[in-house]
Amino acid sequence: MPNDAASSYPTSSWEDWVLMRLSGADAAEWLNGQCSQAVSASSSSEPLETALCDERGRVWGFGMVAARPGEVLLALDRSPAARFAEIVEERVILEDLRLERLDGVVGRLVPEPEPSAVFAKRAGRWWLSFSSTDSATGASMDRDGAEIALGWPGCAEFSVAPLVQELGPEFLERAVSFSKGCYVGQEIVARVQSRGRVHRRWVSLPLSEPLAAGAVVRTASGREAPVLRQGRLSERLWLASAFVSTEDAVPGQMVIVASGERVLESSIAFPGRIDLP
């Protein structure tokens, strides 16, 4: 289902997902030191969600990883994929590791994995499936709306440099291992986790119509926060995302969303707790 608010917030396409292959004797061990998930624990049958953090523990990428005999597959959005390729170029010196982008493979959201799928990750009732361009079928759901519902952060959320804990406990459970070895940003992630508190939380805002660019959410406490992205989940339901203060992040709490000259009502919901149609 297309996002017809293209004149307001930028929209994403499922085809912007990029699938990469890391091969070589050191591929899994090296990637394990870069991402928040335990790479060796992943499997081809069910790829794992993972975050990529900088040295300050701030998330700059989100994707799916699966370790297979002799290779590791990593799916990222186009922009983080480009940054990841630069990091490989900078940090891989003596390791036996090669990075290859699978250019003939595209991502689609489909009801079930395609027979020719190279890589597939469950997405609620759907699957994010990567197949060759010739055999792939079209996606029928707006990417931004679906990702907000699923709790999959994107470049809009990365633009405000969130900590993994600010993406919510649902995200932590799915994408972060606290029992694996060290990785970039791990010390900060562990320190924040031990303190048990962050100052803001990623939330979703259900809406009956799309927003104009520059919309803000006003909470019951009087605080304001910018709306970061939006997408259409169904014929009558749009989802927007924002980071609000932890005190204001109460499920069901009514808020006001100011969009140009319009003032809309919404209520706080958490990404990752919303079912896809």
At the topology level of CATH, where does 15-193 sit?
A: Gyrase A; domain 2 (3.30.1360)
pLDDT, one tens digit per residue, over 96-105 is 999 999 998 9
Exposure letters 67-91 (e unless 16+ CB within 10 A, then b): beeebbbbbbbeebbeebeeebeee
**pLDDT at position 45:** 60
What residues are paired with 239 via a beta bridge?
206, 231
Q: Where are the beta strands (DSSP E) in 91-168?
A: 98-101, 105-110, 119-123, 126-132
Is the Cα torsion angle 62, 269, 46, 35 positive or negative in sign? positive
Domain with CATH 2.40.30.110 in the chain: 199-267
In this predicted structure, the answer to whether residue 85 has a pLDDT above a threshold of 90 is: yes
What region does 260 belong to: left with phi over 0, alpha with psi -120 to 50, or beta?
left
Which pTM was predicted? 0.93
Kindly state the tokens that stand for 114: 């395609």
User: CB-based contacts of 45: which residues, under 8 Å, 6+ apart?
Assistant: none
pLDDT, one tens digit per residue, over 144-171 is 999 999 999 999 999 999 999 999 999 9
Domain with CATH 3.30.1360.120 in the chain: 15-193
**pLDDT at position 114:** 80
Which comes out higher in pLDDT, residue 64 or 133? 64
Candidate CATH numbers 3.30.2310.20, 2.60.120.560, 2.30.110.10, 2.40.30.110; the one for domain 199-267: 2.40.30.110
% of the chain beyond a pLDDT of 70? 93
End-to-end alpha carbon distance in the chain: 12
Q: Mean pLDDT, to the nearest integer, of 262-270?
A: 97
**pLDDT at position 137:** 65
Based on the number of CB atoms within 10 Å of its own CB, is 207 exposed (0-12), middle (13-18) or buried (19 or more)? buried
Q: Is 81 helix (H, G, I), strand (E, B) or coil?
A: helix
